[in-house]
Structure 1
């Protein structure tokens, strides 16, 4: 591929359909695929054009009971939601609540009141007994629709898993109760081993997988659920165990973590998380400038309205590229960006390519 920019690159190869209020995203005739540009951004810190969080292809197969329990399968089948309830892989019942668009465990009936009970009360799943071959046949076309970075989600992470088993208050207390801490560590260590087994089964039956999104929300609208010190002591060692395995296998560790968790970003970096988009209540600009050389951060763009003029769109795009598309410190377009004008995608691609090639 020539180092010279060509207008041939601006041809649209295909369109990624918009989801959840987002407009369609064009994929241009670029020198590397969206998957490759994400890998460049994470591994080499110098992608050939601006990455976008939507370049991850979320893959959530129903074979994983937690996916169906949460009403979130993305696997080539119709989405299955269960207001009447569905059990996750530990046999805990989740009810899908239509009005909020998500599922939750009915509170007030925790499986555990104290983590010291876990060895007696928890029945561990055997993911090798799931119908992986059947799921492969069902999802064959889904995973080959495009050249995005195929990234399954492991739901209910670590703290979320504790919440599902103990309810929120008990789970939060368990992280700081000296009489429960050893039990929490023992449980989370075994949980990490279970996740590694699941990852290896994905690798066997879906070798196209290039990374995993681990789902673990750590904050509310206003603040984290716990201190950085608590995360470093109680969660980081077990999450790093999974991250080390992913990296040993050449896979990416993307983290889904909602809430105002900016104070906890050093823990994500210590774990070895490769990318995080997060929610816009976090000061992504400040986080990018502090940590953008260590983790790929999704940074929300300014609001780009449908009726905004081309010159204004181009100026915003150029400013965005100049600030966040930096060799050794790339950012990516955040998933929550309010972009209603496709001119912005075109301009960001053009400006980032020109910047990469050193074209003034």
Structure 2
């Protein structure tokens, strides 16, 4: 991409992205490229035009996919919908939306199966061709034609989470390490990967999308749910099937995965994942130093209070950019950044533009040519 010198006119704010976490909205400046294009440059070329932000993703969870309504996460341009009385996902699993928790859970006490060897008998695969994609396209036309952001459909239940929804947590975790279930787990997850590739086909056929996100939590607040070896053996081959398919269509693959999962990041990279923001119980600084050239990581900024003196705001912005925006290793501003000062974003933008103008594509090393 041809480099454009910085000009003061770029600091004109084109829009502000609301921040649901109680901090100030995220400004979108009049940059030479859109925020969505910039994210793709960071992922595929490793040299963005300015510092990316996790808020530059426009996540898309349309109601045509039953999982999104079942889990109370519909975001598609229509009215939100939640079901405390229960709603079935694409596999017929009933979910209850729990208002006090702000999320949904599988109706307890009646798992679809206890052992993965039962999957061929008990799992009824959804017929996604029968869903009303035309109607969804009409409803979401404006929502997905965002002129600025990277539009990213989310598949709400990834590989391990899908197993949990059908077996409950304990049985799903056991299935990953039980030799008697190993073949069945691989058979089920391979079929599941094919289903997710089919969903990618639908998203690219009916909507303009830039990437795909799969939601698959891998850890608790203190530790991963399983070992790195287990993830490599049981999950990576199937995730890789989907990431390769997405890349073949010019899409990036973002992974939503909560928990303390530092030890599992190598498997995420081996699986072809492009970006991950994670939760801030992970040592993002350490992870950036180790894996910043291979994975676009969301790193939280320092807390920036509204009353911070201007000189300190500038110092903090420059320090963050110097530490986390290096040749061939961009980061993005993490989702849980506590930014309350209105000028911090401006200073991040200005300094990142200046710093990145000094980088060349050769600085990034061997480029990723998927984009």
Q: Same fold (TM over 0.5)?
A: yes
Once the 2 structures are TM-superposed, how far is the Cα of residue 358 of structure 1 from its aligned partner?
3.5
Once the 2 structures are TM-superposed, how far is the Cα of residue 2 of structure 1 from its aligned partner?
6.8
3-state SS of the aligned residue for 1:73? coil
Aligned to 1:180: 181
Aligned to 1:358: 358
Once the 2 structures are TM-superposed, how far is the Cα of residue 268 of structure 1 from its aligned partner?
0.5
> Is 1:241 matched up with 2:260?
no
Aligned to 2:256: 256
1:33-64 per-residue CA deviation (whole Å, 9 max, x = no partner) reads 10111011011111111011111111110111
The root-mean-square deviation of aligned C-alpha atoms, in Å, is 1.2
Query: Is contact 1:175-1:230 (8 Å) kept?
Result: yes
Aligned to 2:275: 275
Query: Is contact 1:110-1:167 (8 Å) kept?
Result: yes
TM-score by length of 1: 0.97
> Is 1:102 matched up with 2:103?
yes
Write the mapping of 1:96-175 to structure 2, written as runs, cut at 5 A.
96-175=97-176
Write the mapping of 1:316-335 to structure 2, written as runs, cut at 5 A.
316-335=316-335
Partners in 1 of 2:348 and 2:309 — Cα distance?
15
Partners in 2 of 1:51 and 1:246 — Cα distance?
21
Aligned to 1:88: 89
Write the mapping of 1:279-318 to structure 2, written as runs, cut at 5 A.
279-318=279-318
User: Which segment drifts farther, 137-146 or 168-177?
Assistant: 137-146
Write the mapping of 1:13-52 to structure 2, written as runs, cut at 5 A.
13-52=14-53
Number of positions where the alignment pairs a residue of Structure 1 with one of Structure 2: 358
User: Which segment drifts farther, 333-342 or 285-294?
Assistant: 333-342
3-state SS of the aligned residue for 2:177? coil
Query: Is contact 2:69-2:82 (8 Å) kept?
Result: yes
Task: Give unpaired runs (5+ residues) of structure 2.
Answer: 360-371
Partners in 1 of 2:4 and 2:157 — Cα distance?
44
> Is 1:69 matched up with 2:52?
no
Query: Is contact 2:4-2:32 (8 Å) kept?
Result: no
Query: Is contact 1:83-1:97 (8 Å) kept?
Result: yes
Task: Give unpaired runs (5+ residues) of structure 1.
Answer: none
Query: Is contact 2:211-2:254 (8 Å) kept?
Result: yes
3-state SS of the aligned residue for 1:175? helix
Partners in 1 of 2:298 and 2:238 — Cα distance?
25
Partners in 1 of 2:174 and 2:165 — Cα distance?
14
Query: Is contact 1:25-1:342 (8 Å) kept?
Result: no
Query: Is contact 2:86-2:94 (8 Å) kept?
Result: yes
Partners in 1 of 2:15 and 2:339 — Cα distance?
18
Query: Is contact 2:193-2:241 (8 Å) kept?
Result: yes
Which contiguous aligned blocks of 4+ residues in structure 1 show a shift greater than 3 angstroms? none
> Is 1:6 matched up with 2:11?
no
Query: Is contact 2:3-2:357 (8 Å) kept?
Result: no
Partners in 2 of 1:147 and 1:184 — Cα distance?
40
Aligned to 1:196: 197
1:171-192 per-residue CA deviation (whole Å, 9 max, x = no partner) reads 0000000101110000000000
